[in-house]
């Protein structure tokens, strides 16, 4: 056959438009990120029994819909629903635009999805239900490094992914009420990160001793028995928190005395010889006995008219801590050597040696210095990052469980070293390669400023109205439609939004192997209260451990 002449009209390609039965309504109002649509209740009812779970949920709060704009699809999330006041059978909905993708010409499906909208529809534009195939394209992870953590609701096979660089580079927060599976979710995410990057550097503050079991195989475990954190690593502010007991004007007086005596004690170190830049904050070893001697000498120089009470207060507190075995993990006389290099290497996992995460179990730390211990660890991570700027960057992830303890709400006016350093990490950490992961059951008690710095929010079920409102204020506008489902989430389900995902998603977390789960299961009263026998022997063993302080050796 002769070749077709070049001037013959081109035969148009067949484009398969979505089936009419997937049309569920139309756009009635456009207002930037949030717009209004009308849904046909009869069409929604006809799709309820559809075999595709995404289609059967069409139009429900939290579901997605799509709108064609030329050769592109706009994807939006349904935020609210209400019946039309005058027209029966019509439902008025608010939608939030999530992004757009190109249309596959042969099937009409979405591909190459990305966040943001370049062109808005006009009123009257038809609205269609999303299929599971569409959702798989929308939620499919791109080539960026990512970890898969669960299945996207309502599909059964679409995987929910977190982009690691965005998740860690701009901090993240995991929020959820007690009993929702928050600890297991945290362990799952950290396990997936460790499996992907076995040479990473992760430090986790564990206030309840839950995570040692979960990371026994791929983590380094520290508690009061083996942490051996030298007291001289504290800066002056942290020294004040531990050694000063006074308030108001007396505290200022005590602080001046402590500063003078502490600097003198540091200057006695061999490491200080010839170094004119030594200050009260310089991490140089000194002996507690030298600090006490300096306080005693300063007190001896007083004239009779000057009170010795400030000196006696400080000296008495230092001697009390030095003699108390509960504080020996930090204030032991054996920790006077220059072990800073070894301490940083072991706690920061440099090198990781196949165990990229350090679990710092602070459950055995006396409650009055727990915040100071966390402050020292956090500040060392941040200071190390600052002073290593001329070296090859080695990012460190700091994860804080029960974060509201250390970074309380801005309504609390109390100043603390740990609050200051964690707030600074939240604001400046990403510049230096320090990432912050916050886990809490009470987001309303967490600092609003710090939560707003978290680029990725992972919200599990929250039962408290105040907590829900707090999270709502921290989430981006496009995720508001998902927020209404937070109180109704099942255990091990979450809403993820922010930098770590392409668009906000609802995810059901994967199961975690028993050996990788934290020891956070609630006791089964119905079973345990049916058992009896051996109570007296058990009580005797508990009392023996209690009195002998076996928890100092990690035997709890």
Helix, strand, coil fractions of the chain, as percent rounded to 5: 40, 20, 40
The number of CA neighbours under 13 Å toward the Cβ of 204 is 29
How far lies 110's CA from each of 73, 102, 215, in Å? 7, 6, 40
**Domains with residue ranges and CATH for the chain:** 20-139 (2.40.30), 161-228+339-516 (3.40.50.300), 232-329 (no CATH)
**Tokens 């928050």 belong to which residue?**
182
Cα 380 to Cα 367: distance, rounded to the nearest angstrom? 21
Q: Is 399 exposed, middle or buried (0-12, 13-18, 19+ CB in 10 A)?
A: buried
Rg of the chain, C-alpha, whole Å: 30
Closest CA to 335 of 428, 227, 180, 477: 227
DSSP conformation letters of 320-367: HHHH-GGGHHHH-GGG-S--HHHHHHHHTTSS-TT--EEEEE-TTS-H
pLDDT in tens, the chain (556 residues): 444 444 444 433 334 455 566 899 999 998 866 789 999 999 999 999 988 888 888 888 878 899 988 888 898 888 888 998 888 889 999 898 888 888 777 666 777 788 778 888 999 999 999 888 888 888 877 788 999 999 988 788 888 999 999 999 999 999 999 889 999 999 999 999 999 999 999 999 999 999 999 999 999 999 999 999 999 999 999 999 999 999 888 999 999 999 999 999 999 988 877 777 899 999 999 999 999 999 999 998 887 667 889 999 999 999 999 999 999 999 988 888 899 999 999 999 999 999 999 999 999 999 999 999 999 999 999 999 999 988 988 999 999 999 999 999 877 767 899 999 999 999 999 999 999 999 999 999 999 889 989 999 999 999 888 888 888 887 766 566 677 778 888 899 999 988 998 888 889 999 999 999 998 766 778 888 888 888 888 999 888 877 776 544 444 4
**Tokens 């005596």 belong to which residue?**
261
Whole-structure pTM value: 0.86
């Amino acid at each position: 056959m002769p070749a077709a002449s070049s001037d013959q009209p081109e035969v148009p390609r067949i484009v398969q438009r979505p089936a009419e039965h997937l049309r569920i309504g139309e756009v009635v109002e456009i207002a930037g990120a949030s717009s209004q649509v009308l849904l046909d209740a009869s069409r929604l009812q006809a799709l309820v029994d559809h075999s595709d779970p995404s289609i059967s949920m069409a139009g429900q709060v939290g579901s997605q819909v799509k709108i064609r704009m030329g050769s592109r699809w706009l994807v939006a999330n349904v935020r609210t629903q209400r019946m039309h006041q005058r027209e029966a059978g019509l439902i008025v909905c608010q939608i939030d635009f999530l992004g757009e993708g190109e249309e596959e010409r042969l099937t009409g499906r979405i591909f190459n999805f990305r966040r943001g909208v370049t062109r808005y529809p006009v009123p009257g534009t038809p609205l269609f239900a999303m299929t599971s195939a569409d959702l798989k394209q929308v939620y499919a992870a791109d080539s960026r490094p990512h970890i898969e953590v669960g299945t996207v609701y309502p599909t059964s096979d679409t995987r929910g992914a977190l982009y690691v660089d965005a998740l860690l580079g701009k901090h993240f927060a995991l929020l959820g009420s007690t009993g929702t599976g928050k600890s297991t979710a945290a362990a799952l995410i950290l396990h997936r990160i460790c499996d992907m990057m076995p040479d990473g550097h992760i430090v986790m503050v564990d206030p309840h001793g839950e995570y040692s079991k979960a990371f026994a195989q791929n983590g380094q475990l520290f508690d009061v028995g083996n942490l051996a954190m030298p007291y001289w690593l504290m800066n002056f502010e942290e020294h004040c928190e531990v050694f000063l007991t006074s308030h108001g004007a007396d505290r200022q007086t005590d602080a001046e005395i402590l500063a003078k005596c502490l600097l003198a004690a540091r200057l006695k170190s061999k490491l200080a010889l010839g170094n004119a830049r030594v200050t009260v904050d310089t991490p140089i070893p000194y002996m507690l006995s030298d600090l006490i001697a300096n306080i005693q000498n300063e007190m001896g120089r007083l004239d009779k008219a000057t009170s010795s009470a400030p000196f006696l207060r400080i000296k008495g507190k230092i001697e009390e801590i030095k003699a108390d075995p509960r504080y020996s993990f930090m204030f032991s006389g054996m920790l006077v050597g220059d072990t800073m290099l070894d301490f940083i290497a072991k706690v920061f996992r440099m090198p990781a040696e196949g165990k990229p995460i350090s679990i710092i179990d602070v459950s055995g730390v006396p409650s009055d210095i727990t915040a100071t211990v966390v402050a020292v660890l956090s500040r060392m991570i941040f200071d190390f990052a600052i002073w290593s700027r001329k070296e090859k960057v080695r990012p460190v992830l700091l994860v804080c469980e029960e974060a509201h303890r250390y970074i309380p709400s801005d309504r609390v006016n109390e100043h603390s070293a740990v609050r200051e350093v964690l707030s600074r990490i939240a604001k400046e950490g990403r510049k230096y390669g320090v990432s912050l992961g916050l886990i809490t059951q009470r987001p309303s008690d967490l600092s609003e400023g710090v939560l707003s710095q978290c680029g990725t929010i992972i919200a599990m079920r929250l039962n408290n109205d105040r907590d829900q409102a707090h999270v709502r204020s921290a989430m981006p506008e496009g995720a508001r439609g998902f927020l209404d489902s937070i109180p109704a989430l099942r255990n091990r389900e979450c809403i993820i939004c922010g930098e770590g995902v392409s668009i906000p998603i609802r995810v059901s977390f994967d199961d975690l192997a028993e050996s990788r789960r934290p020891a956070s299961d609630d006791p089964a009263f119905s079973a345990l209260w049916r058992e009896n026998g051996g109570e007296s022997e058990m009580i005797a063993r508990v009392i023996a451990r209690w009195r002998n302080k076996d928890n100092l050796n990690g035997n709890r």
